[in-house]
A and B are shown apart, each in its own frame.
Chain A
Amino acid sequence: MATMTDPPRESFRLSMLIYDTRYRSLTIQVIALFAFMLLVAWIISNTVQNLASLGKEVEFGFFSEPASYDINQRLLDYTSRDTHLRASFMGLLNTLVVAVLGCITATIIGVLVGVARLSRNWLIARIMTVYVEMFRNVPVLLWIVFAMAILIESLPSPRAFRGENATQSLILNDSVAITNRGVYVPEALFSRSLGDVRLFGESSLRFDVSLDLVAIIAVLAASFFVFRRIRIWAERVQNETGNRPTTWHFQVAVLVVPTFILLAALGFHLGKPELKGFNFAGGTHLRNSLIALWIALSLYTAAFIAEIVRGGILAISKGQTEAAGSLGLRPNRIMSLVILPQALRVIIPPLISNYLNLTKNSSLAIAVGYLDITGTLGGITLNQTGRELECLLLLMLIYLCISLTISVFMNIYNKRVALVER
């Protein structure tokens, strides 16, 4: 390069902005930026004009006013006197709950179905195909509505549990009640509770953290750490001596005993649901709106995940199965030790986008009256205050944040399992 002589210096001409490839991309970018800014400015100026003629201003003051509506499923304390901000916060938590639950079950069902579609059993493979095609080709909104209707119509109402000649009874040792208002399961109670710690004072984002839960998690984490150390130690011994010491009873004990001691110390007992007045009282109430949404979203997304899993498995060459078979592995172990770990690399990226879809589809909660963020911030709050611009922009921003967070985490995971190319 150094020996090359410089080309004769041309004087800069305006036409070079278009015809000279060195400058053209710069020109295009400047024009694009300019056009983009113009568009934004145009929209903003229109908005300002329109809002002025409607007599509205962009302000977020309404968030500190009382919401005046109740939310049935609230993970933290909330009353109708709390602010719109707190109501939106409850909605956000509800969104996250159904999204997380949905992603977990969708993955489990999806993997099972995806594997079952390749089953040797003709009937099972066909049934799974029917399931996948049915769910993939009918809108999720319809499935949500269906799930809700089936729950409502097919399960008994609490009244069936009441009185002398009750037609229904609680199951699992009188501890779980399945009704068309939802499922009542026992809740964990602590008679010697450590109490709660309140974060963020009395603000709208206040957050009670149960110290019992913190203690349990801490103990579990510690046990798990010790558990890992034992395994590492056992492996070292195996490497050195060729004999692996028997450690499983230690490991189980380390995992279980401290937690049990802690639970006993805290006075752990189960609060069972009982019929009281119109409804069951006590216990944890999983409302049927949550269950319907959860089931519908899981089954719908699972149908897509099943296809991804099936595709991933089929993408692994047959030689892998045969090689594993010739090593003497049984079909189940071939699947779990050889095929699935390799298929995972193909599966993860589309899986991420299905998690994102599930989270976004959870906004259809409105159809079954599950008050998620769309139902609170984008629904009742928007209706009561008439602040469409503020509510919707915030709503979109929140969803965007959730989506981006999921993408980031899953991409990190994806990088970890990705094949290291040499």
Chain B
Amino acid sequence: MSDTSFVRTEMLAEQDPPPTSVGVIGWLRANLFPNWWNAILTVLCLAAIWYVLSGLLGWTLRSVWTAGSLSECREVMIETWGSTHGHACWGVINDRWLQLLFGFYPPELYYRPILALLLLIAALAPVLFADKVSPRLLYVTAAYPFLMPWLMWGGSIWTPVGVAAGFVVAYLVGRALRGAVAGLVLGILSAIIWWMVWFGFPVQTEVLAAGLGEGLAAISPDTAPFLLETVESRKFGGFMLSVMIGVVAIGCSLPLGILLALGRQSNMLIVKAICVGFIEFIRGVPLITLLFVASTLLNIFLPPGTNFDIILRVMIMVTLFAAAYMAEVIRGGLAGLPTGQYEGADSLGLNYWQAQRLIIMPQALKISIPGIVSTFIGIFKDTTLVSIIALLDPLGLSNSIRADTDWNGIYWELFAFIALLFFIACFGMSRYSMYLERKLKTEND
């Protein structure tokens, strides 16, 4: 009996898995051809990819890079390939890429927008990559809103310094007078007075318009140090314009959005009604109508005689537009906070603004960053609409370029270039926002 049984005394050697389920073949089987239905789909997809890529790559690569005009391009194509069909003429990009990037900004001053962009990255780094970058860079962040306009528009360094000093004055006064409301009001008042004194001017009752008034610094622009050549905003164009509108709109809409979001959450009926009305109105109409307002109506709404140039008007309207969306993003952030945070703040005896400043906003803003980034991507993409009201953003410029007799008739190359630039910028930002969302998720778990 016992000798009929079989007891294995040693283990069999491990066998390799069947070759069809490992390595390349295994991967292919698992991921591309798991069953006949998927196999057909895979083959179809491969065919489609081949079809698209073969046409697109041929057009992109078998192309003319050095030509001064479309007709020259066509000559080269005929010479090289015998036909003009299916070949790109990148000569137009070669000829106009600086214009597409910088618009009409004076070429000798290109370093200024580039510097502004680099500083922007430096200023954003401590906010966006808080754990990887020295918090000392926050000083750059604080200085950026004042440095950027100076770099882009030029003028005397005293203008941004004066404006910044106004905020410092407001802060000091507000701190000295601890009473919350009185401090706030007096702080704002003292800042306004400071600006009037700094810029040294006839105080007018219409100073309401002062925030966006005219002129250069009182400290004579000619003698001041660090004088930058003034560049008018109508010289802005191309991608620089898109980025500028986007950055200004998001930057200015952030405080506005916070106020609107708080107003919407508030239990004061009238304040809430005004905020809800504003947000829903802006979100209910297309941006293009707001841009029409900027181009045709805004001057009618302002006091007779005020006349911002169109780019500033567009920035104002896009800021209002962004503020409504920003308010909703921040409201989402506020709603995401556990009620315990509010109760905790209350139990510490903090008043409303203290609670907001010390407890609520830092957390709410942090979880809103992905939303803010997507809002920025949206606004940045929407800046292409300004071409409809005759601003020379990349799309608007493409029209002007095609009106040049040299490039009349060119089409895809310009649009492909513009689309590519937008894609790179937006894709980069959306990747960042996804990374951040993942990070926030793991932090919260």
Does A139 belong to the interface (CB within 8 Å)? yes
- Please state if A32 and B270 are interface contacts (CB–CB under 8 Å): yes
Does B274 belong to the interface (CB within 8 Å)? yes
Instruction: Check A403/B284 contact, CB under 8 A, given A121-B31, A121-B42, A149-B411.
Output: yes
Partner of A142, one of B274, B284, B419: B419
A141, B385: Cα distance in complex, Å: 7
Residues of chain A within 8 A of B419, CB atoms compared: 138, 142, 146
Contact with A along B415-445 (1 / 0, CB 8 A): 1001100110011001000000000000000
* Shortest distance from the beta carbon of B118 to any chain A beta carbon, whole Å: 23
Contact with A along B400-423 (1 / 0, CB 8 A): 000000000001100100110011
Does B288 belong to the interface (CB within 8 Å)? yes
Instruction: Check A28/B422 contact, CB under 8 A, given A374-B289, A392-B293.
Output: no
Partner of B284, one of A53, A388, A404: A404
- Please state if B285 and A403 are interface contacts (CB–CB under 8 Å): yes
Instruction: Check A395/B49 contact, CB under 8 A, given A121-B38, A122-B31, A403-B283.
Output: no
* Shortest distance from the beta carbon of B149 to any chain A beta carbon, whole Å: 25
- Please state if A43 and B301 are interface contacts (CB–CB under 8 Å): yes
Contact with B along A17-43 (1 / 0, CB 8 A): 011000011001110110010000011
Measured CB to CB, the nearest residue on chain A to B45 is: A123
Within 8 A of A (CB), among B66-114: none
Does B303 belong to the interface (CB within 8 Å)? yes
A360, B288: Cα distance in complex, Å: 9
A141, B418: Cα distance in complex, Å: 12
> How many residues does chain A have at the interface if contact means C-beta atoms less than 8 Å apart?
55
- Please state if B269 and A396 are interface contacts (CB–CB under 8 Å): no
Residues of chain B within 8 A of A25, CB atoms compared: 267-268
- Please state if A141 and B41 are interface contacts (CB–CB under 8 Å): no
A28, B280: Cα distance in complex, Å: 22
* Shortest distance from the beta carbon of A21 to any chain B beta carbon, whole Å: 9
Within 8 A of B (CB), among A122-161: 122-124, 127, 133-134, 136-142, 145-146, 149
- Please state if A29 and B271 are interface contacts (CB–CB under 8 Å): yes
Does B340 belong to the interface (CB within 8 Å)? no
A134, B415: Cα distance in complex, Å: 14
Does A182 belong to the interface (CB within 8 Å)? no
- Please state if B412 and A47 are interface contacts (CB–CB under 8 Å): no
- Please state if A46 and B304 are interface contacts (CB–CB under 8 Å): yes
- Please state if B299 and A133 are interface contacts (CB–CB under 8 Å): no
Does A361 belong to the interface (CB within 8 Å)? yes
- Please state if B284 and A400 are interface contacts (CB–CB under 8 Å): yes
Instruction: Check A374/B269 contact, CB under 8 A, given A141-B385, A400-B281.
Output: no
Partner of B415, one of A36, A137, A142, A403: A142
Does A211 belong to the interface (CB within 8 Å)? no
Does A50 belong to the interface (CB within 8 Å)? yes
Measured CB to CB, the nearest residue on chain B to A36 is: B274
- Please state if B302 and A127 are interface contacts (CB–CB under 8 Å): no
Partner of A360, one of B32, B286, B300, B422: B286
Within 8 A of B (CB), among A185-223: none
**Which of A137, A396, A403 is packed against the most chain B CB atoms within 10 Å?**
A137
A367, B422: Cα distance in complex, Å: 19
Contact with A along B353-397 (1 / 0, CB 8 A): 000000000000000000000000100011011011000000100
Residues of chain A within 8 A of B430, CB atoms compared: 133, 136-137
A392, B300: Cα distance in complex, Å: 13
Does B59 belong to the interface (CB within 8 Å)? no
A120, B387: Cα distance in complex, Å: 43
Instruction: Check A50/B287 contact, CB under 8 A, given A18-B181, A141-B395, A145-B415.
Output: no
Residues of chain A within 8 A of B415, CB atoms compared: 142, 145-146, 149
- Please state if B270 and A51 are interface contacts (CB–CB under 8 Å): no
Does A378 belong to the interface (CB within 8 Å)? yes
Residues of chain B within 8 A of A392, CB atoms compared: 289, 292-293, 296-297
Does B46 belong to the interface (CB within 8 Å)? yes
Does A351 belong to the interface (CB within 8 Å)? no
Does A337 belong to the interface (CB within 8 Å)? no
Does B135 belong to the interface (CB within 8 Å)? no
A18, B304: Cα distance in complex, Å: 37
Instruction: Check A120/B31 contact, CB under 8 A, given A46-B302, A138-B422, A374-B289.
Output: yes
Within 8 A of A (CB), among B259-315: 267-271, 274, 280-281, 283-289, 292-293, 296-297, 299-304
- Please state if B285 and A399 are interface contacts (CB–CB under 8 Å): yes
- Please state if A139 and B289 are interface contacts (CB–CB under 8 Å): no
Does A49 belong to the interface (CB within 8 Å)? yes
- Please state if A399 and B296 are interface contacts (CB–CB under 8 Å): no
Measured CB to CB, the nearest residue on chain B to A137 is: B426
Return the 8 tightest CB-CB contacts between A and B, nearest first: A122-B31, A137-B426, A403-B284, A360-B286, A363-B286, A139-B381, A400-B284, A388-B296
Subset of 15 A-B contacts with CB under 8 Å: A18-B182, A28-B268, A32-B268, A32-B271, A49-B304, A120-B31, A121-B34, A121-B42, A136-B426, A141-B395, A142-B422, A360-B287, A388-B296, A389-B300, A395-B292
Beyond A33-B270, A142-B415, A374-B286, 4 additional contacts (C-beta under 8 Å) are A25-B268, A49-B303, A149-B415, A392-B297
- B residues in contact (CB < 8 Å) with A: 31-32, 34, 38, 41-42, 45-46, 49, 179, 181-182, 208, 267-271, 274, 280-281, 283-289, 292-293, 296-297, 299-304, 377, 381-382, 384-385, 387-388, 395, 411-412, 415, 418-419, 422-423, 426-427, 430
- A residues in contact (CB < 8 Å) with B: 18-19, 24-25, 28-30, 32-33, 36, 42-43, 46-47, 49-51, 53-54, 120-124, 127, 133-134, 136-142, 145-146, 149, 356, 360-361, 363-364, 366-367, 374, 378, 388-389, 392, 395-396, 399-400, 403-404
